[in-house]
Amino acid sequence: MSKTYNYIGFYSVLRRELQRFWKIKRQTIFGPVLETYLYISVFGAALGSRIQHLEGHAYINFIIPGLLLMAMAMNSFSNNASSLLQQKMQHAIDDQLASPVSNTALLTAFTLGGFIRAAIITIVSFATAALLIDLPVAHPILFIVSLAMCGLFFASLGVLIGLRSQVFDNLSFYQTFIIQPLIFLGGIFYSTSLLSEPFRTLTHLDPIFYMINTVRYGMLGSSDVNPWTSLLAIGVVTAALISVNLFLFRKGYRLRS
């Protein structure tokens, strides 16, 4: 009986999470896709005319892996953080916690909601870019796995921040002052070979730098770091983050505001 409740509960919460962003898809799907397309067009055209090649690749091809990662990261994080906080503020999550559905099923549904939204945006962005330019994919499996792993990490991070936050200003702080700067300073638009010290070392201290380069290796076949070591580290950190979220869900940490 418990397995049936878990399945129904998981499906119900996941369906609500998917419907939540699909009902306003012009804002949640088409808007981010347009934003990614504008980055490709503006930076590819403006900087690409001056920096035609970087690390042996056309400049526009060089920046696309980072832009895809940014779309995956920002949308999976923001979706899950805002959804969970909204559920707490409206006390809608109280009924879910009182139901016989397991914490694991609830956490999985919340996590997958933002992950699926981000995956849709990333796939559409990649397909749109592929129609405009010739996009290489040197290692397809690594490219897909690294994007998915990074997306799962940020989806889980969104759940954690949603748990910790009490008001929407808290979400804005994490997204605007921490995640977004780390993404932009992680090497989306440049290679560390162009940087002088201490900026090259500082870039290597940015964890998102390794995510971007892992995705870049999967797409272009070249990277500033060892992609397999980076992917292993991303996987370990993601598993640890999921374990923390599950622990907090079981304790009911800030789930009832």
**Which one is predicted more confidently, 227 or 96?**
227
**Predicted pLDDT of residue 210:** 95
Are 142 and 216 in contact, with CB atoms under 8 Å apart? no
Question: Cβ of 135: how many Cβ atoms within 10 Å?
Answer: 16
58: β partners? 53
Q: Check residue 138 and report its DSSP letter.
A: S
Q: Which residues contact 182 (CB under 8 A, 6 or more apart)?
A: 206, 207, 208
The overall average pLDDT reported for the chain is 89
CA nearest to 48, candidates 66, 61, 37: 61
- pTM recorded for the entire structure: 0.92
Question: Cβ of 131: how many Cβ atoms within 10 Å?
Answer: 8
The predicted-structure confidence for 217-226, as pLDDT tens digits, reads as follows 999 998 889 9
Average pLDDT estimate for 122-148: 92
Q: Please check the confidence at residue 74 and state whether its pLDDT lies above 80.
A: yes
**Predicted pLDDT of residue 1:** 44
Mean pLDDT lowest among 46-60, 80-94, 140-154: 46-60
* pLDDT bracket for residue 247 (50, 70, 90): very high
CA nearest to 224, candidates 64, 62, 73: 62
